[in-house]
C-alpha cells in the first residue's frame, strides 16, 4: 500500500477500470475517477458503489480538455495514476485511425503534462499484447521480446504510448509500469458489475452473451482459415478481476529501472470455437453462430509468458476461463433483469 491513497483512475467506468476501482476501494485506496462515457455508462458508478458500499469521487469530462484535466490535479493530492482511458477495438481502429490516434495519444500527452507539472511520478499504463506485432505466436510472448510492428492503429497507439513514457522516464522522475493485456473477459464474481459495451459489442464474449440473451441474432465467427488447430483465432483469455488485481499490485511495485513492463495473461491459448463450445458446456445454452470473413487487424494466435509478473509482481491469474464465462453470463442476465445499460 502506498502512503497517500488518492489515485487518479482515467477511464474508470470502463470494463477494466471499473473492476480495478472495486479492488482499489477494497484495499483502502481513494480512487479519483475520470471518464467521458465514450464507451461506458454512468450506471457503472452505481454498480461499483453497490459492491463496495462506498461512493466514488467522479469527474465527467474529456482528457483532451487540458483545463478540465488540470483542475483535477489542482483539487487532489494524487500519489499515482492508472491510465485506462482509450479506445480499444482493434477492427474499429482500422476503420477510424485518426479517431484512435487523436483520442488515445492526445489524452496521454495531456495527462503526462499534468503529471510533470504536479510532480506525480507513478503511472500504471494500460498497454496491450498487440505491441508485439506478432501474427502467430507458436511460443508464449515474453516481455524480453522486442516490440514489433502492431497490426492495427489501436496497437500503434499502445506502442507509441509505451515509447513516450519510456523516453520521458529517461529524462525525469516519471516511473511508468506498462501492463500488456492479453484478452480480458468475464465480470465481477458478485454478478453486479461487468462489461457494458455501447452498441454492438466488438469483443467476442459479450457478443456471445448478448446472442444467447436474444439481443443479437447470431455470433459471426470472423474467419476459420487461420493457421490454428481448428482454423479460428487463438487468444489468451484472462478474467477481468485478475487483470484488475494486477493493477493494484503494480501501484506498489518498486523497481530500479526507468520503467517496467508485464504481460497480463494466463499463459494458455483458446480458440474462438473452443470458447463457444466452453460457453455451451458451462451454461447449457446453445450459441447460434455462423462463419464469416476474417476481420481486419486480427492475427492468428497470441498467448502470454506470465513468469515475469509472477516473479516480480507476485501476481498470477487465479481464475479460470470457465469462471470468466460463468461470471460474464451471470452479469448479462443481471443487467437485463435490472435494465442496466
Ligand atoms: C477475439 C477473437 C475475433 C467478435 C481485444 C481487445 C483489445 C486487446 C486485446 C487489451 C478474434 C473473434 C470477435 C465477434 C469473432 N485488449 N471475434 N466474432 O480483437 O483479440 O482484442 O483483446 O488491450 O483491446 O479488443 O478481442 O474479443 O475482439 O476478438 O469471431 O463478434 O474473437 O476475430 O479472433 P481482440 P476480440
Q: Taking the model in full, what pTM does it have?
A: 0.96
Backbone angles phi, psi at 165, to 5 degrees: -60, -40
Residue nearest to atom 9 of ligand 1 (CA): 183
Query: Residue 149: is its pLDDT beyond 90?
Result: no
Above 80 in pLDDT, residue 127? yes
Decide if pLDDT at 41 tops 90: no
Nearest-angstrom CA–CA distance, 224 and 131: 24
> What pLDDT digit, counting tens, does each position of 198-239 carry?
889 999 999 999 999 999 999 999 999 999 999 999 999 999
54-96 pLDDT, tens digit per residue, is 999 999 999 999 999 999 999 999 999 999 999 998 889 999 9
Residues 265, 316: Cα–Cα separation, whole Å: 8
Write down the H helix ranges in 10-130. 15-26, 43-52, 66-75, 90-95, 97-101, 107-117
Percent over 70 (pLDDT), the chain: 99
185 CA: nearest ligand 1 atom: 27
- Based on C-alpha coordinates, what's the Rg of the chain? 19
Residue nearest to atom 30 of ligand 1 (CA): 221
Which of these, 205, 232, 192, 212, lies nearest to 283 by C-alpha position? Answer: 212
- What's the rounded Cα separation, in Å, for the pair 23 and 3? 17
What local confidence, expressed as pLDDT, does residue 1 receive?
A: 56
Q: CA 47, CA 51: separation in Å to the nearest integer?
A: 6
Pocket of ligand 1 contains residue 238 by CB under 6 Å: no
* pLDDT for 3: 60
- Provide mean pLDDT across the span 238-254: 96
**Of 154, 181, 207, 237, which one is the catalytic site residue?**
154
Confidence of residue 40 (pLDDT cuts 50, 70, 90): confident
Over residues 291-318, mean pLDDT: 95
With a 6 Å cutoff on the Cβ, whether 32 touches ligand 1 is: no
Per-residue model confidence (pLDDT) at position 136: 83
Exposure string of 189-199, with b = 16+ CB inside 10 Å and e = fewer, is bebbbbbbbee
What's the pLDDT at 134?
A: 84
**Best residue for ligand 1 mutational test, from 183, 225, 289, 328 (most atoms within 8 Å of Cβ):** 183
The CA-based dihedral angle spanning residues 316, 208, 203, 186, taken in that order and rounded to the nearest 10 degrees: -30
For residue 251, is pLDDT > 90?
A: yes
Q: With a 6 A CB cut-off, is 168 part of the ligand 1 pocket?
A: no
Answer yes or no: 154 catalytic.
yes
- List the grid coordinates of 182: 492479453
pLDDT tens for 1-39 read 556 699 999 999 999 999 999 999 999 999 999 999 988
**Atom in ligand 1 nearest the alpha carbon of residue 127:** 23
Burial of 67 (0-12, 13-18, 19+ CB in 10 A): exposed
- Dihedral sign from CA coordinates of 204, 303, 93, 106: positive
Cβ of 233 closer than 6 Å to ligand 1, yes or no, is: yes
Strand 270-271 relative to strand 260-264, pairing: unpaired
Average the pLDDT over each of 39-43, 226-230, 285-289 and give the range with the smallest value.
Answer: 39-43
The rounded distance, in Å, linking the Cα atoms of 340 and 42 is 10
The Cα 45–Cα 41 span in angstroms is 8
202 CA → ligand 1 middle, Å: 7
Alpha helix ranges (H) inside the chain: 15-26, 43-52, 66-75, 90-95, 97-101, 107-117, 153-169, 204-212, 240-251, 272-283, 307-308, 321-337
Question: Tell me: the pLDDT tens digits for 104-126?
Answer: 999 999 999 999 999 999 999 99
Amino acid at each position: 500500500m502506498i502512503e497517500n491513497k488518492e489515485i487518479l483512475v482515467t477511464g474508470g467506468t470502463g470494463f477494466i477500470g471499473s473492476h480495478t476501482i472495486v479492488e482499489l476501494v477494497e484495499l483502502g485506496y481513494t480512487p479519483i475517477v475520470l471518464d467521458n462515457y465514450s464507451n461506458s455508462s454512468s450506471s457503472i458508478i452505481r454498480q461499483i458503489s453497490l459492491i463496495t458500499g462506498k461512493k466514488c469521487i467522479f469527474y465527467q469530462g474529456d482528457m483532451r480538455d487540458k483545463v478540465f484535466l488540470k483542475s483535477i490535479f489542482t483539487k487532489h493530492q494524487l500519489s499515482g495514476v492508472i491510465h485506462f482511458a482509450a479506445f480499444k477495438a482493434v477492427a474499429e481502429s482500422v476503420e477510424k485511425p485518426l479517431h484512435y490516434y487523436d483520442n488515445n495519444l492526445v489524452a496521454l500527452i495531456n495527462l503526462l503534462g499534468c503529471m510533470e507539472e504536479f510532480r506525480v511520478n507513478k503511472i500504471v499504463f494500460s498497454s496491450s499484447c498487440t505491441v508485439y506485432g506478432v501474427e502467430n505466436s507458436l511460443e508464449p510472448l515474453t516481455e524480453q521480446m522486442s516490440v514489433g510492428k502492431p497490426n492495427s492503429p489501436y496497437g500503434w497507439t499502445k506502442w507509441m504510448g509505451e515509447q513516450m513514457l519510456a523516453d520521458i522516464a529517461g529524462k525525469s522522475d516519471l516511473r511508468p509500469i506498462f501492463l500488456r493485456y492479453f484478452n480480458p473477459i468475464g465480470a465481477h464474481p458478485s454478478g453486479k458489475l461487468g462489461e457494458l459495451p455501447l452498441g454492438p459489442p466488438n469483443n467476442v464474449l459479450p457478443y456471445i452473451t448478448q446472442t444467447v440473451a436474444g439481443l443479437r441474432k447470431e455470433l459471426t465467427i470472423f474467419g476459420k482459415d487461420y493457421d490454428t488447430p481448428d482454423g479460428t483465432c487463438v487468444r489468451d483469455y484472462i478474467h477481468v478481476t485478475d487483470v484488475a488485481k494486477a493493477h493494484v499490485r503494480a501501484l506498489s511495485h518498486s523497481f530500479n529501472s526507468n520503467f517496467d513492463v508485464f504481460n497480463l495473461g494466463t499463459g494458455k491459448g483458446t480458440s474462438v470455437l473452443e470458447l463457444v463450445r466452453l460457453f455451451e458446456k458451462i451454461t447449457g445454452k446453445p450459441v447460434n453462430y455462423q462463419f464469416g470473413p476474417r476481420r481486419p487487424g486480427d492475427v492468428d494466435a497470441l498467448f502470454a509468458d506470465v513468469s515475469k509478473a509472477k516473479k516480480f509482481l507476485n501476481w498470477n491469474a487465479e481464475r479460470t476461463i470457465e469462471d470468466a464465462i460463468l461470471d460474464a453470463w451471470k452479469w448479462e442476465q443481471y443487467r437485463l433483469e435490472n435494465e442496466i445499460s
